[in-house]
A and B are shown apart, each in its own frame.
Chain A
Amino acid sequence: MDGKSIKYRIGKSYFAQIVTTLFAFACVIPLLFILGFIIKAGITKINWHFLVNVPKPVGETGGGIINALVGSILIIFFASLIAVPIGILAGIYLSENGKSRLAYWCRLCVDILQGVPSIVVGIVAYFWLVKPLGGFSALSGSVALAIMMLPIVIRSTEETLKLLPSSLQEAAFALGMPFHRVIFKVVVPVGVSGILSGVMLSIARITGETAPLLFTAFGNPYLSFNITKPMHSLPLLIFNYATSPYNDWHDLAWGASLILLFWVLFLNIFTKLITRKWKVQL
Chain B
Amino acid sequence: MESTIIKSRNFNASFGSNTVVKNVNIDIPRNHVVAVMGPSGCGKTTYLRCINRMHELIPGATSNGEMTINNENIYDMHPIFVRQKIGMVFQRPNPFPNLSIYDNVIAGYKLNGIKLPRAERDRIVEHSLTRVALWKEVKDSLNKKGSFLSGGQQQRLCIARAVAMEPEVLLFDEPTSALDPISTSTVEELFHELKVNYTLIIVTHNMQQAARVSDKTAFFYLGELVEYDETKIMFTNPKDNRTQNYITGRFS
A residues at B contact (CB < 8 Å): 99, 165, 167-168, 170-178, 181, 185-186, 189-190, 280-282
Contact = CB atoms under 8 A, between A and B. Distances in A.
A181 B54 contact: no
A147 B52 CA distance: 43
Given A170-B94, A175-B161, 16 more contacts: A165-B94, A171-B90, A172-B107, A174-B88, A174-B90, A174-B162, A175-B83, A175-B84, A175-B107, A175-B112, A175-B162, A175-B165, A177-B111, A177-B112, A181-B111, A181-B112
A171 B158 contact: yes
B94 A175 contact: no
A183 B52 CA distance: 20
Contacts of B79: 176
Given A173-B54, A174-B87, A175-B108, A168 B80 contact: no
Interface of B: 52, 54, 57, 59, 79-84, 87-88, 90, 92, 94-98, 107-108, 111-113, 145, 147, 158, 161-162, 165
B83 A282 contact: no
Could you say which of B96, B147, B158 has the most chain A C-beta atoms within 10 Å of its C-beta?
A: B96
B59 to A, nearest CB: 7
Contact of B54 (A165, A174, A190, A280): A174
B178 to A, nearest CB: 11
A99 B58 CA distance: 12
A99 B59 contact: yes
A168 B161 CA distance: 14
A280 to B, nearest CB: 5
Contact of A176 (B57, B97, B108, B145): B108
B123 to A, nearest CB: 19
Contacts of A186: 96, 98, 111
Nearest to A189: B98
Contacts of B87: 174-175
B98 A174 contact: no
Contact of A174 (B83, B113, B147): B83
Contact of A170 (B90, B107, B108, B161): B90
Given A177-B80, A177-B112, A181-B113, A281 B52 contact: no
5 contacts: A170-B54, A171-B158, A175-B165, A176-B82, A282-B97
Contacts, number: 73
Nearest to B164: A175
Contacts of B111: 172, 175, 177, 181, 185-186
Could you say which of B87, B98, B161 has the most chain A C-beta atoms within 10 Å of its C-beta?
A: B98
Contact of B94 (A171, A181, A189, A281): A171
A248 to B, nearest CB: 53
B94 A176 contact: no
Contacts of A281: 97, 145, 147
Could you say which of A165, A171, A174, A181 has the most chain B C-beta atoms within 10 Å of its C-beta?
A: A174
A190 B96 contact: yes
A186 B111 CA distance: 8
Contact of B112 (A167, A176, A189, A190): A176
A280 B113 CA distance: 22
A190 B95 CA distance: 12
A177 B94 CA distance: 15
Contact of B97 (A170, A177, A185, A190): A190
A120 to B, nearest CB: 37
A198 B113 CA distance: 29
Nearest to A98: B59
B159 to A, nearest CB: 12
A184 to B, nearest CB: 10
Could you say which of B79, B80, B82, B87 has the most chain A C-beta atoms within 10 Å of its C-beta?
A: B80
A280 B162 CA distance: 22
B18 to A, nearest CB: 17
A165 B165 CA distance: 24
A168 B158 CA distance: 12
B57 to A, nearest CB: 6
A176 B109 CA distance: 10
A168 B145 contact: no
B90 A167 contact: yes
Contacts of A178: 80
4 A-B pairs closest in CB distance? A176-B84, A176-B83, A174-B88, A167-B94
Contacts of A282: 97, 147
Nearest to A164: B97
Contacts of B88: 174
